[in-house]
Structure 1
Amino acid sequence: MKPLILSVEDDVQMTSLLRTVFELSDYPLIQARSAKEALTMFLSEKPELVILDLGLPDMDGLDVIRKIRGFSQAPILVLSARSEPADKIEALDLGADDYLAKPFSVDELLARIRVICRRLEQTGSLPESDVFVNGGLEIRYQEQEVRLDGKLLHLTPMEYRILVLFSRNA
Structure 2
Amino acid sequence: MRAHCVVIEEDPDIRSLLSLALSRAGFNVKTESTGAAGINAVAEDKDLGLVTVDVALHDLGGNDVLHALRGVSRAPILVISARAEPVDRLAALESGASAYLTKPFRLRDLQDLVHTLAPAN
The normalised TM-score by structure 1 is 0.65
Match of 2:53 in 1: 52
Paired residues of 2:77 and 2:98 also in contact (CA < 8 A): yes
1:135 is matched with none
1:32-111 alignment, distance < 5 Å = 32-46=32-46, 47-111=48-112
Letter in 1 for 2:87: A
The question of whether the paired residues in 2 share the 8 Å contact of 1:65 and 1:94 is answered with yes
Root-mean-square deviation (Å) = 1.7
Shift of 1:117: 1.5
Judge conservation of contact 1:3–1:117 (CA < 8 Å) in 2.
no
Task: Output the CA distance in 1 between the equivalents of 2:21 and 2:71.
Answer: 30
Q: Distance in 2 between matches of 1:48 and 1:74?
A: 6
In 2, Cα distance between the equivalents of 1:9 and 1:56? 8
Shift of 1:2: 4.4
Q: What TM-score does the superposition give when structure 2 sets the normalisation length?
A: 0.90
Q: Is the 8 A contact 2:43 2:73 kept in 1?
A: no
- CA shift, 1:61, in A, is 1.6
Cα deviation for residue 69 of structure 1 reads: 1.7
Tell me the alpha carbon deviations over residues 59-112 of structure 1, each in whole angstroms, 9 at most, x when there is no partner. 012111111222432110000001100000011111210000000010110110
Partner of 1:114: 115
Q: Whose relative contact order is higher, 1 or 2, with alpha carbons under 8 Å and at least 6 apart?
A: 2
Unaligned 5+ segments in structure 2 are none
Contact 2:5 2:27 survives alignment (8 Å): yes
- When residues 92 and 51 of structure 1 are mapped into structure 2, their CA distance, relative to the original with a 3 A threshold, is same
Structure number with larger C-alpha Rg: 1
CA distance 1:45–1:71, change in 2 (3 Å): closer
For residue 95 of structure 1, give the secondary structure of its aligned residue in structure 2: coil
8 Å Cα contact 1:6/1:31 also seen in 2 = yes
Q: Which amino acid aligns with 1:37?
A: A
Question: How much has 1:41 moved relative to structure 2?
Answer: 0.7
With over 3 angstroms needed to count, the CA separation of the structure-2 counterparts of 1:25 and 1:33, relative to structure 1, is same
Identity of aligned residues (%): 32
The Cα shift of 1:25 comes to 3.1
